[in-house]
Amino acid sequence: MIDGKTKILGVMGDPIEHTFSPAMHNAGLKELGMNYIYLPFHVKPERLSFAIDGAKALGIQGFNVTIPHKTNVMKHLNQIDQVASMIGAVNTIQFIYDEDIESSNQDNEINVTTKGFNTDGYGCVRAIEEKTSIKNKKVTITGAGGASRAVAFQIASSGIEELSLLNRNLSKAESLVADLKTNLASIGIDIGINAYGIDDLKRELSDSDIFIDTTPIGMYPNVDDKAIASADMFHEDLLVNDIVYTPMETSLIKEAKLANATVVPGYKMLLYQGIRSFEIWLGREAPVDVMEKALLDVLGI
């Protein structure tokens, strides 16, 4: 029940009406009996700084941030987590309030620290690790956009042995790989990372352990799009993850099943990025099963 002590979490984006996050988070909060509510906020780009200041004034506890604010919001935050900073995008904000009213009156500022995190890549890694460890594995990723960037940085800093990044536009893959190498070297990670065109996918998959497709191919309403790879390119020991979650069974997942490969559906990344955000805000373990059920319900699965 909402009362005078209810604390507020939320998600902001433009558009926002299609978000699945409130269903998942409110189910988790209810399960733990926490007096919180998670709400959607439609924030236009030109109102982003007002939204952050308004959130501080209103005592909002945490935000998820979605398109188009993930990068622009960073300049409004006090601290950025290392992975989020390498990715160059934030999807989670934690607001930490200093309740010292006297000092806040003195400098006429709201005493709150805002910390930015990116839990998207974490979501993908945890989804895969439900099925297999990624340690010392060879990972192949298709796509070189924002989603690929988040996944690639997290995967590459999680103990894998080798990463191949393939994209239709090769120069975009090359530039992401160069960026990955520079940033990872700065934190002492030195693994084999290579950029290729999509034509090299069959060869790269032949000795890969894990394949992640970050392109929007097959996403609703284009459900009949030809998958980026076909069953004959997969082997039985390969794990295939399509990050598209509408529909649940994309054309790529169908091909993976034909080849008897291990399959990780896209909604798992959405689930676990939310689980991590929940845990950052509330400082306690999230009820994964309940949140997963709520997410599947709202996705209509």
Answer for which of 217, 229, 233, 286 binds ligand ATR (CB under 6 A) is 217
Residue nearest to ligand ATR (CB): 145
Q: Is 70 annotated as catalytic?
A: yes
The tokens for 272 are 């676990």
State which residue, 145 or 159, has the beta carbon closest to ligand ATR: 145
Stretch that binds ligand ATR, among 17-25, 122-130, 140-148, 266-274 (CB under 6 A): 140-148
Answer for which of 68, 88, 145, 159 binds ligand ATR (CB under 6 A) is 145
Tokens 């409004």 -> residue: 76
Regarding 144 and contact with ligand ATR (CB under 6 A), the answer is yes
Stretch that binds ligand ATR, among 4-12, 24-32, 153-161, 209-217 (CB under 6 A): 209-217
State which residue, 80 or 147, has the beta carbon closest to ligand ATR: 147
Local structure of 240: helix, strand or coil:
strand
C-alpha pair distances (Å), 88 with each of 85, 114, 166, 174, 300? 5, 16, 20, 17, 32
Minimum CB separation from ligand ATR for residue 151, in Å?
9
What is the distance of C-alpha 93 from the center of its chain?
Answer: 13
Minimum CB separation from ligand ATR for residue 223, in Å?
14
State which residue, 88 or 216, has the beta carbon closest to ligand ATR: 216
Regarding 146 and contact with ligand ATR (CB under 6 A), the answer is yes
Helices assigned H by DSSP within the chain: 21-31, 48-58, 82-87, 101-106, 120-129, 146-156, 170-186, 201-206, 251-258, 267-282, 288-299
Active-site choice (70, 115, 137, 138): 70
- Residue 125: other Cβ atoms inside 10 A: 20
Stretch that binds ligand ATR, among 101-109, 125-133, 184-192, 215-223 (CB under 6 A): 215-223
Regarding 68 and contact with ligand ATR (CB under 6 A), the answer is no
Minimum CB separation from ligand ATR for residue 251, in Å?
12
For helices 288-299 and 21-31, angle between their N-to-C axes, nearest 10 degrees: 150
Decide: residue 185, CB within 10 A, 0-12 exposed, 13-18 middle, 19+ buried: exposed
- Cβ(139)–Cβ(106) below 8 Å: no
- How are strands ordered across the β-sheet holding 7-13? 36-42, 7-13, 62-65, 92-97, 112-117, 79-80
Q: Which amino acid is at 157?
A: S
Total of residues contacting ligand ATR (CB under 6 A): 14
State which residue, 88 or 145, has the beta carbon closest to ligand ATR: 145
Answer for which of 169, 182, 186, 206 binds ligand ATR (CB under 6 A) is 169
β-strand 62-65 against 7-13: which pairing, if any?
A: parallel
Residues with a known catalytic role: 70
Q: What does the binding site for ligand ATR look like in residue numbers (CB under 6 A)?
A: 143-148, 167-169, 172, 214-217
